[in-house]
Structure 1
Amino acid sequence: MSSGVAVEERFKKLASDNVALKKYLYILARIEKGQLVYVDSERISTAPIEDDDAIYQQFHKDCEEKIVVHSCQVKDETPRAAFTRIKEILTAEPAAFMIYNCVLDDGSKRSKSFLIRWVDDDKANMRTKMVYASSSSGIGSKLPNLASNIIQCNDGSELTYDIFKGYCKTL
């Protein structure tokens, strides 16, 4: 069953570009007024800055009041350290979706993008839990490159780099 949550066109474009180009470590979104909307992202420090970044700049201009944090990945930061920061950002939310670009720390430079559905068992109310649960498949179908890589997390203990590294190797 789908909740009928719409996905912001600009978010779909950013998500699609990120899966292909790996420009962002993460893209955070939440459901607001029946629509999945962009909240925040973090550029990977090695990603080239190009003219098409106008889309990214427009996001920040249009969504200024919704942006939580914006920063670049720390240069030479390990994937494990970056994930620790991502966990802090995600667990501050009662519920959110995050596209996470998991980079392996084995020197291979392999990576995999995931759509994380985060619903904190302790912070989210029942209505929020139901909306996010019923929205996942619909949102996944609107983000086809991520439809098979949706990971559900309800507790901070499920958000570890080692768990995602395992998913990255198996999916």
Structure 2
Amino acid sequence: MPAGWDYAVTAMLRALPLLAVLVAAIAPPAFAEEVRCPPSLNVQAQPEAPGGWSPYPAKDQHAFAGAALVEGDRVAQMASPSLAAAPPALEPDRSLRRGRSEVRQWDFPAARRGNVFLICRYTGTQATLAMDLPRTVRRCQITEETDARGVILDRPAAPPQFLCR
């Protein structure tokens, strides 16, 4: 081995932790992943036919209608037969009216302990989609169309806009 080889290797090994700290310090911050409800939901409709009738299934497409954020165990709460509709939703941290729309916002701390999940609702069906929010999500917002009095419309001209990040 050439002279000084041991010294060079030792110096490089000592520099590695410092290099790792420098890379971590100058790397851009990790951004939270964006979570959105799918714009539509396809549902396989299986009719129950009364005596003498033959059922014929169909696939129906339903547009996004709204979202709810719920704290707790998604699997347990969504499977509970005691729920008439959906589990109780979290109240937004703030709400702001802008012209003919209302923006509601939920803020989540960086050290969130409990699980929060998202339920996406669709027009003309009781079928929903649900997923656990990644712990990197810090804020969710929904913007919905209102009437002149500020009441959210049941049948808006455009679907609500929903985003978590």
| Band of TM-score, shorter chain | under 0.3
- The structure whose Rg is larger is 2
Q: Which one has a larger percent strand, Structure 1 or Structure 2?
A: 2
